[in-house]
């Protein structure tokens, strides 16, 4: 692997990370993955394990002594490493908060030392309890109280965003932030409470589909290949802006130092989603409503809606996720 030619992907053994790594290698890039496998899985990288331009390092970002050199030699960093799933967040808030802030801070410090551009994946969770029908990147954020551990993930990712943008302003680090909205697709596990793989697994095995709460809460789902396409386009646009002359950079679509929503816009309630999964897969499974206090813990607080505005992404990189929800269900189930 030639010095200065690889792309570093933290959390590359995760569901999204594995698909991103496959895409980057397909595009002819050399890729180095750092993942401690706390929630990732080597099976997500099985298809590329023997690729000549791929290297896997099983470690935490914070304990890898050669991280500064790895960041210095990278042409770009995708920072995907994070705790995943509401279920895990509720159960392990301390791990979520410590891991997110410590690992991100150490990675940003290494990237800033050499000016290596970095894309941070954040989450729609940062919009918190906002009742707006659609979320814009410029919206004020309304996070729940610290007594509810459910909001620890939102706060940890929001802190990551503040940290990354502070490095951009004060250390001139080229940074892009992508807020992901309910990414789904092949290889996603339902182990940490992810709703669509849970529904699909239940429908395929004839088990009840368990809908938490009253089922009227709504979400927008985005196919993982669409998300990867958006991330790659943001990365390419960022690289072009860095390589352009000052005049050209000013006239090109601005992505550096910016936040982008990345998600689908086809809104569906959880009860409607369960019915659609049953119908699409021709299942005989029934649907059960499970109160939140039985699914998680007493006092669990949830967002009623979560629909992104994606015009900024479309305007900047000429891309809007287009895979329909029914197609997402079919592709994921297959």
Q: Mind telling me the catalytic residues?
A: 153
Cβ atoms within 10 Å of 236's Cβ, excluding its own: 14
As a whole number of Å, the end-to-end CA separation of the chain is: 35
Is the CB of residue 104 less than 8 Å from the CB of residue 163?
Answer: yes
Is 123 strand, coil or helix? strand
Q: Classify each residue of 51-71 as buried b or exposed e, where b means 16 or more C-beta atoms within 10 Å of its C-beta.
A: eebbebbeebbeebeebeebb
Using the Cα atoms of residue 302, residue 295, residue 37 and residue 181 in order, give the sign of their dihedral: negative
Q: How far is CA 270 from the centre of its chain?
A: 20
Is the CB of residue 141 less than 8 Å from the CB of residue 100?
Answer: no
Cβ atoms within 10 Å of 252's Cβ, excluding its own: 13
Burial environment of residue 177 by CB neighbours within 10 A (0 to 12, 13 to 18, 19 or more): buried
- φ, ψ dihedrals at 162, nearest 5°: -60, -40
| Residue whose token pair is 């021709």 | 282
Helix (H) / strand (E) containing 289: strand 287-290
């Amino acid at each position: 692997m030639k010095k200065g030619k690889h792309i570093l992907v933290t959390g590359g053994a995760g569901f999204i990370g594995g698909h991103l790594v496959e895409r980057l290698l397909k595009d002819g890039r050399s890729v180095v993955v750092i993942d401690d496998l706390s929630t990732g899985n080597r099976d997500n990288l099985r298809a590329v394990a023997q690729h000549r331009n791929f290297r896997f390092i099983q470690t935490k970002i914070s304990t890898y002594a050669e991280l500064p050199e790895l960041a210095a030699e990278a042409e770009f960093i995708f920072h995907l490493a994070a705790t995943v799933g509401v279920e895990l967040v509720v159960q392990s808030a301390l791990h979520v908060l410590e891991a997110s802030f410590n690992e991100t801070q150490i990675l940003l410090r290494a990237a800033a030392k050499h000016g290596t551009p970095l894309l941070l994946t954040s989450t729609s969770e940062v919009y918190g309890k906002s009742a707006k029908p659609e979320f814009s990147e410029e919206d004020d954020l309304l996070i729940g109280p610290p007594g509810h551990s459910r909001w620890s993930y939102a706060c940890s990712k929001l802190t990551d965003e503040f940290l990354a943008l502070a490095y951009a302003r004060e250390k001139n680090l080229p940074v892009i932030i992508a807020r992901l909205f309910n990414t789904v697709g092949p290889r996603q596990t339902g182990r940490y409470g992810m709703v669509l793989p849970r529904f699909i697994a239940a429908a395929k095995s004839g088990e009840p589909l368990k809908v938490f709460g009253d089922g009227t809460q709504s979400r927008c789902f985005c196919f993982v290949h669409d998300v990867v396409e958006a991330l790659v386009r943001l990365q390419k646009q960022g690289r072009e802006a860095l390589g352009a002359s000052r005049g050209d950079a000013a006239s090109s679509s601005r992505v550096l130092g910016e936040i982008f929503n990345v998600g689908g816009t086809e809104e569906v309630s959880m009860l409607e989603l369960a019915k659609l999964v049953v119908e699409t897969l021709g299942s005989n499974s029934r649907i059960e409503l499970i109160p939140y206090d039985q699914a998680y813990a007493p006092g669990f607080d949830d967002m009623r809606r979560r629909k992104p505005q994606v015009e900024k992404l479309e305007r900047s990189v000429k891309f809007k996720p287009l895979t329909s929800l029914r197609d997402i269900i079919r592709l994921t189930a297959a």
